[in-house]
Amino acid sequence: MPIDLKKFMKKLFLLLFIPFCIVAACKKSNDDPKPANAERKALLTGTWKLTAMTYSPPYDYDQNGTPETDAYAVMEPCQKDDLLTLRANGTWESDPGIPCDWEDPDDFSGQWKLSDDGKTFTEGDEEGTILQLDEHIFKFQVSVSDDGVTYTVTITWTRQ
């Protein structure tokens, strides 16, 4: 009995094509409808403590006449205990801990947001580039100007 090559090819095609379609349909899509920043926003939400601040070029942070790169090293202990809480609703609040004599003892608050690509953190008018963000570290960089000089400030917060 001769084999009908046309029917054989159809059956072979169906036997090979249908399982391929099923596997392809079950494969997770790369077109995730969640925004790119959803996971990063969840990582940002929580309470953070300032653990590092550097300036480039050096800046006279403590106003003693000597510019320094490591501003955190010359901060007063009352500045180093400050906490920052970022809420999922886009608000933030700071807790100054032990207030410095020259600081307003009240808490500060405001709005924050994350860019759609999850790479830019904005608080008020200040916009910074996120350098590192994980369960423990939030590190970003901003540019600030003072007396005609633009400084790159790198700030590191550690989750509490």
Burial 133-151 (b: 16+ CB within 10 A, else e): beeebbbbebeeeeeeeeb
Residue whose entry in the numeric block shows the structure tokens 């090819």? 9
Q: What pTM was computed for the model?
A: 0.73
pLDDT digits (tens, 9 = 90+) for 23-54: 444 545 555 555 567 889 999 999 999 999 99
Q: Which domains does the chain show, CATH number per domain?
A: 38-159 (2.40.128.20)
How high is the pLDDT of residue 142? 96
Low-confidence ranges of the chain (pLDDT < 50): 1, 3-25, 27
